[in-house]
Structure 1
Amino acid sequence: MLLFIQFFKNYESEILGSIILLLVLLIIRYIARKLIKKIGHKAGINDARIHLISRYATATLILIWLLIETIIFGAQFEEIAVVFSSVFAVIGIALFAIWSILSNITSGIIMFFNFPYKVGDKIMIHDKDFPIEAIIEDIAAFQLHLRLDNGDLVTYPNNLILQKPVTLLKKDAIVLPQDDGTDAV
């Protein structure tokens, strides 16, 4: 018990700073989640995508918290720079192999905040090799799920949908089942 008390006496200001930082970041997280939810509902985005973007925001805040915590407990900028450059070098090599996945996730985040089409809209993707005319069934983290007129399901990567011209053919072409389990009319 004496060791425990001594620890708190030695690191009193750091622990107080950590508690304040944690409270501030929790408040920022709360505000960010509310804003994301408000933007999502205003844009007519489904709850699963809203939850996904909220998790991305939370993960970003955790990384910021870890960085500031190291500074609070006395790590010097040079020490942090060495650690981060080493970590980012390893991560960079690993991520180079999966750049397409990161590109799709980033595109999914961009599409959350700025994508004029919604689930249920009928669109045409002007791809010279494979033009697609389909109804958007779902907008996931990595791809769009498109239902063709013949009933086939096509998954289209998020990063490609932002690179190709798209035409809205019909707004709310289908009515999807409601969340409460009943079908819409």
Structure 2
Amino acid sequence: MYTFYKTYQTEVIYTAVLLIILLSIRAIIVIAVKRIGKRSGTTEVRANLIGRYATVTILLVGFLIESFILGADFGDIAVVFSSVFAVIGIALFAIWSILSNVTSGVIMFFSFPYKVGDKIKIHDKDYPIEAIIEDIRAFQLILREDNGDLVTYPNNLILQKAVTLIQKDALDDSSI
């Protein structure tokens, strides 16, 4: 063990410093996302989901930096990443609607003006909906219509349609 540490002393030190820096950045991002979520009135589950997205991104960046620390050449890393991104690009093209719903979910976390419990009207020409928001998830909104029907509405469509706020916190008002 001593010879291993002596041989790779600088790599071990750089890796430890990288790990501390990345964990610090992750903690700062997770705390900031939770504060933004609390300030905007979103659920803790959604804040945790955005935190997981940030963690995965930081993990990928950490792997890239660690490969440089361990002595990989830029050309080798470029070949690996171009191959991986080509495969991911083809896969994402095949599942673009899932990706657009997840991206819309992240956008909605930071800038969606409606909260769980609000009664909204979605102005869709084919199927207009007037319902109470029960939950906002990564892929869709869960809406409850007045007749009790449960409707799931994709996140990417909610950002494309006109939405009117009918009643703020309709869940709290109905329980009175």
- TM-score past 0.5 threshold: yes
- Does residue 84 in structure 1 map to residue 96 in structure 2? no
Partners of 1:9 and 1:83 lie apart in 2 by: 30
TM-score, normalising length from structure 2?
A: 0.95
Residue 175 of structure 1 deviates from its aligned partner by 2.4
Aligned residue identity for 2:164 = T
Residue 80 of structure 1 deviates from its aligned partner by 0.8
- The match for 1:48 among 39, 45, 50 is 45
TM-score, normalising length from structure 1?
A: 0.91
Could you tell me which runs of 5 or more consecutive residues in structure 2 were left unpaired when the two chains were aligned.
Answer: none
Q: Over aligned residue pairs, what C-alpha RMSD do you find?
A: 1.3
Residue 96 of structure 1 deviates from its aligned partner by 1.6
Partners of 2:73 and 2:161 lie apart in 1 by: 46
Percent sequence identity is 65
- The match for 2:63 among 51, 63, 66 is 66
- Does residue 97 in structure 1 map to residue 109 in structure 2? no
Kindly report which structure 2 residues correspond to 1:2-13, keeping only aligned pairs within 5 A, or say none. 4-13=1-10
Question: Which residue is 1:145 aligned to?
Answer: 142
Question: Which residue is 1:116 aligned to?
Answer: 113
Divergent runs of 4+, >6 A: none
Residue 90 of structure 1 deviates from its aligned partner by 1.3
Could you tell me which runs of 5 or more consecutive residues in structure 1 were left unpaired when the two chains were aligned.
Answer: 177-183
Residue 5 of structure 1 deviates from its aligned partner by 2.2
Partners of 2:19 and 2:101 lie apart in 1 by: 31
Residue 75 of structure 1 deviates from its aligned partner by 1.3
Residue 46 of structure 1 deviates from its aligned partner by 0.8
Q: Which moved more, 1:73-82 or 1:153-162?
A: 73-82
Task: Tell me the alpha carbon deviations over residues 140-161 of structure 1, each in whole angstroms, 9 at most, x when there is no partner.
Answer: 0100001111110000000110
Structure with the higher helix share, 1 or 2? 2
